[in-house]
Amino acid sequence: MSYFTELAHQYIDGEWRAGSGSWDIIDFNPYNGEKLASITVATVGEVDQAYRAAERAQRAWAATNPYARRLVFERALRLVEDREEEITEAIIAELGGTRTKAAFELHLAKEFLREAMQLALRPEGRLVPSPVDGKENRVYRLPVGVVSVISPFNFPFLLSIKSVAPALALGNAVVLKPHQNTPIVGGGLVAKVFEDAGLPAGLLNVVVTDIAEIGDALIEHPVPKVISFTGSDKVGRHVATVAAAHFKRVVLELGGNSALIVLDDADLDYAVDAAVFSRFVHQGQVCMAANRVLVDRSVEREFTEKFVAKVETLKVGDPADPETHIGPLINSSQTEAIATLVEQTVDAGATALVRGRTEGNLMAPTVLTGLPADSPVLGQEIFGPVVVVVPFDGDEEAVRIANDTPYGLSGAVHTADVERGVRIAQRIESGMVHINDSTVHDEPIVAFGGEKHSGLGRLNGDSMVEAFTTQKWISIQHGRSRFPF
């Protein structure tokens, strides 16, 4: 099937249909500029229809035996496995992901579908003791009802499934809004997989639209009880503010400015490999990417020489070519913004050890060093193939520099002394730190999330149960209570 023809629609209450907005979202291939699809945006009315369909369908779904719910995810997993090559081609075309990146995304998507099978059976009630004679306290885990999922452009298939599948497995219904740059891979394709897997109509709805058309209707609507958002901290702040005003729970997975720390006793060749992957996977368009590589001054020269040599071997070009390491950025606005940032940073005194050229949305890697301590680049997220190498003197300074950012998502420490690495990791203000590995990791049963401006709440494993269910206390008085009046 042609995903970009057949899935370029809204998906509401089990029906594929055109939106009724006054303009279209045009879906382009970021590498060659080819028009992939045109989708008329959903209106506020269609957002309401999606939420009402979800609300109607959810009650019966919540009452469905969880073993029966689990079967949907088993079939969805088989469908993804059967269609892996077609989905890979869609990832390459719509978001400029390389084949290596597509394989990484699909591997994790399948793992999260496997975890969703288990989540269907995970919620457990509790019997809680009471100080009152004859009283029985039961605490139930119940679905929240309807969940709104807003997914990003960088890993759209994975990050849609990562929230959609657990929310459904736990008995909820979902309204999904994919990013405008990836409406098929992040939206229509997800709906198609679950439709073909036998998910009842109305439980998953996809609305392709924009704030310019619907304003805050997706968040303000009275039906959804939880908003799961993945994206920038700027938009996340707005989502949280609007949601709080309407007493909605939020799970926010936001940006990062991760540091990969290379200590004086590190295996430098291995650290170079980890750092190159941590920064340049998917063109650096990864929230966990290592924006900053911090290197002990005693090994700075040797590490930097090896790091630069490795970076210069990376092939930039057509993401469909299996030999390509770095494909295009998602759009021209992103490319221009990163190019301007590099130019300004060099003009302000930074040294470019590698200065990548830009052609269309292709941007070759840039390695910067020698930045002033007050350079704004050191504190911000760089969503592109640009890395900053920063020397430090001793562990204390490494921790200070790593924490000198408003973000706190991931990080890594390379050292021959694992416990030394753990001691440093414990002091880094981030949700995740990896010893002797890359900064880019996600596993279905380990709590995933950030500190500071990198988000609120956690996903994965038991955190999914916390995110997408609520607790209800029902007490039973055996015998008669005594009342004071």
Same domain? For 41 and 159 the reply is yes
Q: What is the DSSP string of 214-246?
A: HTTHHHH-SS-SEEEEES-HHHHHHHHHHHHHT
Residue 96, pLDDT score: 97
Same domain? For 229 and 90 the reply is yes
Using CB atoms within 10 Å of the CB of residue 190, give its burial: 0 to 12 exposed, 13 to 18 middle, 19+ buried. buried
In terms of DSSP H, where are the helices of 248-297?
268-280
Chain position carrying tokens 């209450």: 13
Specify the CATH number for the domain of residue 390: 3.40.309.10
The answer as to whether 205 is a domain residue is yes
Closest to 32 (Cα-Cα) out of 358, 385, 362, 281? 362
Chain position carrying tokens 């030394």: 420
Sheet strand arrangement including 226-230: 15-17, 10-12, 204-206, 173-177, 146-150, 226-230, 249-253, 455-456
Residue 75, pLDDT score: 98
Cβ density class 49-66: b for 16+ within 10 Å, e for less: bbbbbbbebbeebbeeee
Residue 115 is among the residues annotated as catalytic for this protein: no
| Beta strands in 316-465, from DSSP E residues, in sequence order | 351-354, 358-359, 362-363, 366-369, 386-392, 407-408, 411-414, 434-435, 451-452, 455-456
The answer as to whether 446 is a domain residue is no
Are the CB atoms for 69 and 61 separated by under 8 Å?
yes
The answer as to whether 441 is a domain residue is no
Residue 253 is among the residues annotated as catalytic for this protein: yes
Same domain? For 281 and 235 the reply is no
What is the domain range of residue 416? Answer: 258-435
Specify the CATH number for the domain of residue 127: 3.40.605.10
The answer as to whether 80 is a domain residue is yes
Same domain? For 273 and 344 the reply is yes
Residue 2, pLDDT score: 86
Angle CA 115–121–124, to nearest 5: 125
Domains in the chain: how many in total?
Answer: 2
CA torsion angle for 6, 8, 10, 16 (degrees, to 10)? -10
The answer as to whether 164 is a domain residue is yes
Same domain? For 205 and 269 the reply is no
SS3 181: coil
Cβ density class 73-86: b for 16+ within 10 Å, e for less: bebbbebbeebbee
Same domain? For 226 and 264 the reply is no
| Radius of gyration, alpha carbons of the chain | 24
> In sequence order, what are the residues at sequence separation of 6 or more whose Cβ sits closer than 8 angstroms to the Cβ of residue 170?
119, 120, 122, 123, 143, 464, 465, 468, 469
The DSSP element (H or E) to which 108 belongs, if any, is helix 99-119
Same domain? For 350 and 399 the reply is yes
Long-range residue pairs from 313-316, CB within 8 A, at least 24 positions apart, any chain: 314/276, 314/280, 314/364, 314/365, 316/356, 316/362, 316/363, 316/364, 316/365
Question: Ramachandran region of residue 464, left (φ > 0), alpha (ψ -120 to 50) or beta?
Answer: alpha
CA dihedral over 19, 211, 208, 74, signed as positive or negative: negative
Are the CB atoms for 43 and 65 separated by under 8 Å?
no
Per-residue pLDDT of the chain (485 residues; tens, 9 = 90+): 489 999 999 999 999 999 999 999 999 999 999 999 999 999 999 999 999 999 999 999 999 999 999 999 999 999 999 999 999 999 999 999 999 999 999 999 999 999 999 999 988 899 999 999 999 999 999 999 999 999 999 999 999 999 999 999 999 999 999 999 999 999 999 999 999 999 999 999 999 999 999 999 999 999 999 999 999 999 999 999 999 999 999 999 999 999 999 999 999 999 999 999 999 999 999 999 999 999 999 999 999 999 999 999 999 999 999 999 999 999 999 999 999 999 999 999 999 999 999 999 999 999 999 999 889 999 999 999 999 999 999 999 999 999 999 999 999 999 999 999 999 999 999 999 999 999 999 999 999 999 999 999 999 999 999 999 999 999 999 999 989 99
Give the span between the Cα atoms of 315 and 323, in whole angstroms. 7
Angle between helices 156-169 and 99-119 (to 10 degrees): 0
Q: Considering the entire predicted model, what is its pTM? A: 0.96
Same domain? For 151 and 296 the reply is no
Same domain? For 405 and 348 the reply is yes
Hey, which residues does 387 pair with through a beta bridge? 367
| Cβ atoms within 10 Å, residue 258 | 33
Same domain? For 191 and 289 the reply is no
Angle CA 145–207–34, to nearest 5: 145
Residue 267, pLDDT score: 98
Give the span between the Cα atoms of 242 and 150, in whole angstroms. 14
Same domain? For 95 and 208 the reply is yes
> In sequence order, what are the residues at sequence separation of 6 or more whose Cβ sits closer than 8 angstroms to the Cβ of residue 127?
136, 137, 138, 139
The answer as to whether 379 is a domain residue is yes
Q: Which of 287, 300, 312, 396 is catalytic?
A: 287
For 124, 327, 396, the CA distances from 392, given in Å and listed in that order, are 49, 32, 9
> In sequence order, what are the residues at sequence separation of 6 or more whose Cβ sits closer than 8 angstroms to the Cβ of residue 120?
66, 67, 69, 70, 73, 169, 170
The answer as to whether 440 is a domain residue is no
Q: Dig out the tokens for 28 from the structure.
A: 């382009």
Q: Which of 111, 115, 253, 381 is catalytic?
A: 253
Same domain? For 381 and 368 the reply is yes
The answer as to whether 359 is a domain residue is yes
